[in-house]
Structure formats: C-alpha cells, structure tokens
Amino acid sequence: MTHPHDSTRPTTRPIAGELAVVWQMVWDRLERSVNQPDAPWREGVFATSRVPGGDPFGLRTVILRRVERDAAALTIHTDARSPKIAQIEADPAVEWLGYDRRERLQIRLAGRATIHRADAVAEALWNESSPLSLRGYLGGHPPGTPVESDTPDPNLPAWVLERGDRLTREEVQPGRAHFAAVRIVVYAVEMLQLDRAGHRRARFDRVPNDPRTLWTGGWIMP
Ligand SMILES: Cc1cc2nc3c(=O)[nH]c(=O)nc-3n(C[C@H](O)[C@H](O)[C@H](O)COP(=O)(O)O)c2cc1C
C-alpha cells in the first residue's frame, strides 16, 4: 500500500514552467553524453536486478551509446555472455545513475530493458561503433570466467592488443556474435541538484509499459 508521503508515488501534473526547463536540461545533457567523450553522465552506473543464487553484483559502470529523447530511451552495448544479460532476461526492470561532480547534479532513471542481438537495433549500434569500442567482444571466454593462471588475462588475443586503435571493422567482426545492445525505455526520472542556496529535486513519470502516455512532473523534497 502506498503511504500518502511516499516518494514512490508518481507525479500527476503535466510538466510546465521551471520543471519544463529542468526536463529539457536533463535530455540535453543525456544527448551530449553520447557525443562528448568527457561529458559527466556518459559513464553511468547501470543497475539490474540480481538473480537469486546468481552473480552477486547488479551494478556496473557503462558507457551511454545512444539517447532517444522522444522515446525517452537509452541504449548501451555489452557482452551477450555477461551476467547482466541473464539478470535482464529474468527481470527487465533496470536503473541508470549519472553524477556530475562539478555541477553536483545527480540523475536517476528507471526503466525496462530489452536485449537486442540479431535485430536492427543491434545491427545499427554495431555499425556506428568504432572498432576499438567493439574489440572487447573478441574475448574467447565469457566475461567473469575465472583465470587459471596466477597472472591477469585480458581475454583478448595479443595481436588485438598490439593493433590498438588501428583495428579494422573486419578484424572485430568475429566479436559480433557476442555483441548485444540493451535498450532501456525510461518511465521515471529523478534529478537532484545540490546547492547551498537550497537543493532542488524534481521527479518525472509516465505509465510504465505504455510509452504513448504523456510525462508528468513535480518538485519533490530533497
Ligand atoms: C569506464 C568504464 C566503462 C565501461 N563501459 C562498459 C560498457 O559500455 N559496456 C559494458 O558491458 N561494460 C562496460 N564496462 C565494464 C562494466 O563495468 C562491467 O565490469 C562489465 O560489463 C561486467 O558486468 P556484469 O558482470 O555485471 O555483467 C565499463 C567499465 C568502466 C570502468
């Protein structure tokens, strides 16, 4: 049951006034994260639900690869053999956290994830990514596999490491089999701006699983 002062209560009013400015700022910043390598929210924390008896970790840093403002969707790419994929298959509820230390600006996004391996979403992201950003998928072992020796193993053939940023698209192509795009359709957004003059916290919602519904928004207590 929902308590009347519970922060789980979604907002109900259309986004207007100053909140509309915050809303635009959030999506401007997310969009910039994809295009600017040093954008603060580019490397965010991606959270999945842990599977009982499975991998103990449900948080990891991931690079934001695509942002669709109109659909309120984010896309990342990952190894299809990694535990996060099994976690999403078991429960598509995911979250994203970004923090801009300089601006003291935190963003939290909640959404539902879909996994794309062989479809147009995966194909487009593979094609627009640089060979260097795709080389990790050439690993012969699933990520997380214990290393048998006493020294670390990069899970990449030596020739791949030697090629550095001269790697070609053809050379990384065998990694395509391990590549997955994960698209997160967002249904709740929360922004916290720390400020000595008074913190500001805003929350935006739409109905989960129905992206046609309009966003609502409101200020919430920091
Ligand atoms: C700066 C940074 C960027 C990263 N970017 C990605 C990424 O884009 N995709 C990804 O799958 N893992 C990325 N990782 C590695 C993940 O943090 C994580 O170690 C890996 O995906 C395994 O996660 P899992 O075992 O929970 O599935 C990145 C790590 C760091 C430190």
Pocket test for ligand 1, best of 43, 45, 61 (most atoms within 8 A of CB): 61
pLDDT in the model for residue 9: 81
**Which residues sit opposite 146 in a β-bridge?**
none
Q: What is the mean pLDDT of each run of 10 residues along the chain (222 residues)?
A: 64 93 98 94 97 95 97 97 98 98 97 98 97 96 96 96 95 98 97 98 92 90 96
Q: What are the Cα distances from residue 27, in Å, to 32, 80, 191, 213?
A: 8, 28, 11, 18
Which of 62, 76, 58, 55 lies closest to 144 in space, CA to CA?
55
Considering only CA atoms, which residue is closest to atom 12 of ligand 1?
A: 62
Pocket test for ligand 1, best of 43, 49, 60 (most atoms within 8 A of CB): 60
3-state secondary structure of 178: helix
Environment class of 110 (CB within 10 Å of its CB; exposed 0-12, middle 13-18, buried 19+): middle
Q: In which region does residue 198 sit, left (phi positive, over 0), alpha (psi from -120 to 50) or beta (all else)?
A: left
Q: Which residues contact 215 (CB under 8 A, 6 or more apart)?
A: 14, 15, 23, 72, 204, 205, 206
* CB atoms near residue 118 (< 10 Å): 11
Does residue 219 contact residue 200 with C-beta atoms inside 8 Å? yes
Q: Is 82 in the pocket of ligand 1 (CB under 6 A)?
A: yes
Domain limits, the chain: 18-123+176-219
pTM metric for this prediction: 0.95
Q: What are the Cα distances from residue 127, in Å, to 30, 62, 101?
A: 21, 19, 32
Environment class of 4 (CB within 10 Å of its CB; exposed 0-12, middle 13-18, buried 19+): exposed
Q: Which residues contact 139 (CB under 8 A, 6 or more apart)?
A: 79, 155, 156, 175, 178
Q: What are the Cα distances from residue 31, in Å, to 5, 41, 78, 104?
A: 33, 10, 20, 19
Does residue 167 contact residue 161 with C-beta atoms inside 8 Å? no
CATH superfamily of 18-123+176-219: Electron Transport, Fmn-binding Protein; Chain A (2.30.110.10)
**Which residues sit opposite 107 in a β-bridge?**
98, 191
Rounded to 5 degrees, φ, ψ at 195 are -155, 135
Q: 51 C-alpha vs ligand 1 centroid, how far in Å?
A: 18
